[in-house]
Amino acid sequence: MPAVPSDTVTDPLAPLLDLPGVRDAADRARDALAEVHRHRTNRRGWANTAAEASVRAARASAAIDGGSMELPAPGETGDPILAGALRVAQTLDGDALGNMVSTWRRAPLQALARLHLLAAADLVDDATQLGRPRTGSGVGERLDGLAQLVTGGSNAPAPVLAAVVHGELQALKPFGVADGVVARAASRLVCVATGLDTRNLGVPEVHWMRRIDAYRSGIEGFAAGTEAGVGGWVIFCCGSLEAGAREATSIAEAFAG
């Protein structure tokens, strides 16, 4: 995992909080998501807004990876990338979300395997590849490190942790297929599991899709492991969570009539 130089080894993400702009960006993301949860529509009708957010997120996530945003007609399979993103969205919505969050908190690598199985089912010829990380190149070790982070290995603010999980999975590409959809879904799981976005209302995927060049360069910066690269990615992701809260507000307003 890319690391920012530091003398502290207690919390590997602690150095990020000293980088310019990171704390403020995390605070803005947290406040924006808290505000959308207080929206009058989301006090009781959040199941409907969360379902709409889930579909928007899936369509945008598929588009980021070159898939279609057009939902298939009933009975049709449609674009395989979008189909996978929609399956992932379904397991992060409604009653299924609670099960995934529980697995994520207890066994994050198992949750990632499940996400990959759903995301890549139509993209691989050999079904035995589904849910199985690549071997070699330190993939297993880095995934273990990521699992330690999300199971109590860091006290970093939730937006920062979500950005790091997202960036690490994008940079590592542990499965080789559908890694982007898995990475963005894992970011969502962090947001729900930490209480940042308990009802999964935010739609940061739309911001990432609309700023695709910045998104891709941000991943490259994170993978480089420099202070500027890692810090810039974290700030960008926090800004996307903030933008995702605005998207969620627009959904709530639409349901309010």
Q: How far apart are CA 187 and CA 216, in angstroms?
A: 16
Helices (H), the chain: 22-37, 40-44, 46-64, 80-91, 94-106, 108-120, 139-148, 158-172, 179-193, 204-210, 212-224, 227-256
For the chain, give the longest Cα–Cα distance. 57
CB 213, CB 221: distance < 8 Å:
no
| 246 is a domain residue | yes
pLDDT score, position 134: 92
pLDDT in tens, the chain (257 residues): 554 444 445 899 999 999 999 999 999 999 999 999 999 999 999 999 999 999 999 999 999 999 999 998 888 878 999 999 999 999 999 999 999 999 999 999 999 999 999 999 999 988 888 999 998 889 999 999 999 999 999 999 999 999 999 999 999 999 999 999 999 999 999 999 999 999 999 999 999 999 999 999 999 999 999 999 999 999 999 999 999 999 999 999 999 87
Number of domains in the chain: 1
pLDDT score, position 2: 53
| 95 is a domain residue | yes
| 3 is a domain residue | no
> Which backbone phi and psi does 3 adopt, to 5 degrees?
-130, 140
In whole angstroms, what separates CA 28 from the centre of its chain?
18
| 97 is a domain residue | yes
Structure tokens at 129: 């590849």
The 10 Å Cβ neighbour count of residue 126 is: 7
Full-model pTM? 0.94
| 5 is a domain residue | no
Sign of the CA dihedral with 160 first, then 166, 168, and 170 last: negative
Give the CA distances from residue 11 to residues 112, 148, 155, 178, 212, in Å, rounded to whole numbers and listed in that order.
23, 11, 7, 30, 31
Q: How far apart are CA 139 and CA 119, in angstroms?
A: 19
| 88 is a domain residue | yes
Enclosing domain of residue 132: 14-256
| 48 is a domain residue | yes
- The CATH number for 78's domain is 1.10.3290.10
- Identify which of 184, 254, 248, 250 has the alpha carbon closest to the alpha carbon of residue 50: 248
